[in-house]
Amino acid sequence: MFEAGAGKTRMKKLLEQLGRARTFLADVHGELRKSSWPSRGELLESTMMVILSVVFFSVFVGLSDSVLVAFVKLLAR
């Protein structure tokens, strides 16, 4: 049912896969070190812009929906 060398080839394949995974993670780590990360101030500024944009568009969509509902009710009379 099992071949005599099957366990060795499975172990060899597993070790090769682990080696490739280790190489991949080392490459990812190297690339991340090359990246330039935003300063705390830049990060806070960008976060505030996103939050304000979401609030603005939420209000816009809500008001647009209310106006369209009122318009449809007028047409349905």
At residue 8, the pLDDT reads 77
- Contact, 77 vs 70, CB < 8 A? no
Q: How confident is the model at residue 3 (pLDDT cuts 50, 70, 90)?
A: low
Query: Mean of the pLDDT values across residues 21-25?
Result: 97
Average predicted confidence (pLDDT) for the chain: 92
DSSP state of 35: S
The domain locations on the chain are 1-35, 39-77
Q: Model-level pTM? A: 0.57
pLDDT higher than 60, residue 2: no
What's the pLDDT tens digit per position in 58-70? Answer: 999 999 999 999 9
Q: Using CA of residue 6, residue 7, residue 12, residue 15, what is the dihedral sign?
A: positive
| Cα-based distances in Å from 37 to 4, 27, 34, 40 | 53, 18, 9, 9
